[in-house]
A and B are shown apart, each in its own frame.
Chain A
Amino acid sequence: MKRRAFLKSMAAGGLAASVAGTAGMMLPKEAAGAKKIDIGEIKGVKIDVLTETSWFDNDQFKKDIMDYGGAMTNQYTIPWKWDNAGGYATLITVTTLDGQERKFMMDFGWNTEWMDYIYEEKSDVASLISKDEIEFWVLSHWHLDHFWGVESTLKRKQDITLYAPATYYPEDMALLKEKAHHKAKDKETGEMMHICKNDYPHTGKLVLCDEKGEKGEGIYRLMPGVAVKYYDVPILLRVRGENVLYFNVKDKGIVTVTGCCHPGVLSLFSYARKNFAGYKPYGCYGGLHISLFETWEPKFDDIIKGVKAFKIQKLGCNHCTGWIWAEKAAAAGIPVVKGTNKYKSYKKTSTVAKASNVFLTNGDTVVF
């Protein structure tokens, strides 16, 4: 709405009308015709949910944050309850246009014992790594539950190719490259508590992703039809920036795969609409970072409306999405992909899991 129209509406209809007139700018609009990127196409993509339970007891996780200063506290200064730690990691299998299957992974989880259990007993990832069938890893962001379990992977293969956000802190790089053993002080006992370690330094290729991307295109092309885009957003616990995966599935459209989706799922689609040639919205998978603590805010209702407006056809979610958001979204008619009860066979389960199965949780699979 132009200023003149705003002032005109104010003159005609008073204050309420003038504010109401601003509502027009809140609707999604097609982007102007900037030069668009062709990322190619794939035939399909399969997501295996290795583990999405980053922590098992939601209240304990919140308490750890609360006791040590809240949302902006440095994650390396909190003596997290180790037995509450799980992790987030995803196996991704791309079927190329010529029918070839190519695998890569997103994220490393948090608790190394949990990740060993996932890799060895609940999936064939340990075997895939040893057979060199996983081409590369993408680290979504430097949060503890996505990165601190890196030893589980590196002890099996140290020279992996890794795409990681360029916005790391010294503690992050020390854990990846310098055999760091990080500890945090328990404020009640004064004891220094183990929080994470890695005795197997990364020796492979490290691609630090930034907003410019490869060749200044804003993205990094991983294979035809697959790209990673770095978003420079500030995140909880002093972390900054997140890598997001984009897939262009032939005849279907754009699929996003995220670790936590801190930039916001609709912002990812908004970016694709503005920048990708032949954009069609199709689906998304991952943590969507909405009601991660199972709480509510009016803006979460906004997101349900927005997802409908963006015409997302298939929404697979878990992790930090929040069960209550997923339930409300499903009830509002959003095509939420339901999970199964496989997670109940795992040695630990989340305290917030519900029978509605609106999460794709541990052991589930979704195909786009």
Chain B
Amino acid sequence: MAEETYPHKFNYFFGFLNLAGVFVIVWFLWYVFMNPNTVMKLYTPMYGFALVVVFISGILAMSNVCRLPDIYGSQVKTVNPVVKGIVLTVVAFFLMIFINYILFWGFIGKFGVAYFSPDSIVISGGTGAEPYVARENASTAIVYFFAVFLWMVLFWDLGFGRWPWQANSLGVRVWSKMFVILFFVIFFYTILFHPHVCYLFYPAQDKAGVAPWWEEMAGTGSAFFSLGLILCTLVWIVFSSVLWEGRPWNKLEEKNEPNFSKGFVVFVTTLTLGIILLFVLLQIFTSIWGEPFVGGQYTDGPDWRYIHGAEVAGFFLLAAFIWKNYFNNFPNIKSVWGRCVIRSIIAMALGMLIYWFYFSPLATFFLAKVEGFAQPGDTPLVWTLLFLSIILIQSDFFDGWPLKRGKNKEIG
């Protein structure tokens, strides 16, 4: 997320127009790729979900881990943001293709963990192991893997930054950071999601994965529990980095460099706040839809309550990025606490406005979703992450063009 400079006063009307333009682009992409009644029909839903999650993960890997937008800027004498944006977007697209189809479906799934590849699931045979379900199950595993990746990438940036490689070369920093993040991704994926994926099959793959250990305390064996926790944790991470200018954690830095203590405190605190946010959301859902119960379906299901928590968190995340990128993080008043609190309130209100949109007849018109809550085969997270992807592409790859004129940031 590059910092921008503004040669002129920020034009909020132009920001709004830019947002409208992005909305149209997202709608067009949805119409072509996801709408169940048009061209590609990828929103099955997990197949399309996986592609979108991998796509946004690739964008963040390029921007936040590999610093490709900055490297591009440092290598090209005169940066044309449009050319740069197109080049990096094409790279991100092919990265998505590579990760999903070659790395996971074609390599890891073929030579290691079978459930990452639809073909391997079909070949293994047994009840329900046919292409449609196999693709959905493999995609589910990929979604979960990259949900953890999103969490780790965004957390690492806020918590550890360049630590402990700040004295090393860019190459060392990039590779080290990537491998450490992947290490933790694999660790948390194994704990939080692998048990669910092993129980997507009949009979359950109980020699490969334990029964979901959270079942008793969460009221469901579904890993939507874990997804809810992660997305709610991400709200605090993103609010802090996007709306609060890195506060309050930057107080823990030494000479403007993060350290282990800061990273540890950020991890524990954001996770704790994520749990609290999820708990508060669950209480609100209970007041609206009544008590959930074990085995309940639709809005009565504990599993749906957790993923709905994740969906609400997703709306907050989207709202935060919209507010920063298209409304210049208004207000930019002198009081630090004042502007952080006001921005947060605005982002939450905007998140609820997006929520209203998604569950209104407007979404039936724009996105061809069936009206109502808890539609099987629908989660707003897909549309939310697609929207976020386009926002990130504009801000990180196109340097905010045409809304803003970017300045190449120092490679951090």
Q: Give A contacts to B, CB under 8 Å.
A: 3, 6, 10, 15-16, 18-20, 22-23, 25-29, 59, 62-63, 65-66, 68-74, 77, 232-236, 238-240, 262-267, 270, 289, 291, 293-299, 301-307, 309-310, 324
Query: In this complex, which of A19, A234, A238 has the most chain B Cβ atoms within 10 angstroms of its Cβ?
Result: A234
A293 touches B133 (CB 8 A): yes
Chain A neighbourhood of B377, CB < 8 A = 70-72, 236
What's the dominant secondary structure at chain A's contact region? helix
Query: Do the beta carbons of A26 and B202 come within 8 Å of each other?
Result: no
CA distance A66 to B297 in the complex (A): 24
Task: Check if B298 sits within 8 Å of A77, measured CB to CB.
Answer: no
Given A26-B292, A62-B132, A301-B221, A69 and B282 contact (CB-CB distance below 8 Å) = no
Contacts of B135 in A (CB 8 A): 66
User: Of the candidates A28, A296, A298, which one forms a contact with B293 in the assembled complex, judged by CB atoms under 8 Å apart?
Assistant: A28
Interface 9-mer from B159-167, B252-260, B299-307, B345-353: B299-307
Known interface pairs A3-B280, A70-B44, A240-B370; 4 further A-B residue pairs with C-beta atoms within 8 A, sorted by A's residue number = A15-B271, A26-B294, A267-B300, A302-B302
A235 and B370 in contact, given A19-B275, A66-B44, A298-B222 (Cβ under 8 angstroms): yes
Residues B204 and A296 in contact, CB atoms below 8 Å apart: yes
B304 → A minimal CB distance (Å) = 9
Which chain A residues border B130 with CB–CB below 8 Å?
A: 59, 62-63
Q: Are A264 and B223 in contact (CB under 8 A)?
A: no
Q: Which chain B residue lies CB-closest to A267?
A: B300
Which residues from B are CB-within-8-Å of A270?
Answer: 290, 293, 296, 300
> B residues touching A (Cβ–Cβ < 8 Å)?
36-37, 41, 43-45, 47, 127-128, 130-133, 135, 137, 196, 199-202, 204, 212, 214-223, 271-272, 275, 279-280, 282-283, 286, 290-298, 300-303, 368-378
The reply to whether A18 and B298 form a contact with Cβ atoms under 8 Å apart is no
Q: Is the CB of B215 within 8 A of A298?
A: yes
Instruction: Give the distance in Å from the alpha carbon of A299 to the alpha carbon of B303 in the complex.
Output: 7
Say whether, besides A15-B272, A26-B302, A77 and B294 are in contact (CB < 8 Å). Answer: no
Q: Which residues of B contact A264 (CB under 8 A)?
A: 295-298, 300-301
**Contact between chains at B298 and A233 (CB < 8 Å):** yes
CB closest chain-B residue, reference A290: B297
The answer to whether A70 and B199 have CB atoms under 8 Å apart is no
Which residues of chain B are within 8 angstroms of A293 by Cβ–Cβ distance?
128, 132-133
Q: Which residues of A contact B368 (CB under 8 A)?
A: 72
CB distance B45 to A70 under 8 Å? yes
Min Cβ gap B125→A in Å is 12
The 7 residue pairs across chains A and B that have the minimum distance between CB atoms: A306-B295, A264-B297, A26-B219, A298-B221, A70-B44, A71-B377, A69-B41
Most chain B C-beta atoms within 10 Å of own C-beta, residue among A15, A20, A22: A22
- List, in ascending order, chain A residues with CB within 8 A of B376's CB: 71, 234-236
How far, in Å, is A192 (CB) from chain B's closest CB? 16
Residues of chain B within 8 A (CB-CB) of A235 are 370, 375-376
Residue of A nearest to B229 (CB): A19
- CA of A77 to CA of B47, assembled, Å: 20
CA distance A262 to B37 in the complex (A): 22
Asked if B291 contacts A25 (CB within 8 A), the reply is yes
Report whether A232 and B372 are in contact in the complex, using a CB–CB cutoff of 8 Å.
yes
Instruction: Known A26-B292, A71-B377, A72-B36; judge A296-B200 contact (CB<8 A).
Output: yes
A305 to chain B, nearest CB (A): 5
| A18:B370 contact, CB within 8 angstroms | no
Residue pair A73, B302 in contact (C-beta under 8 Å): no
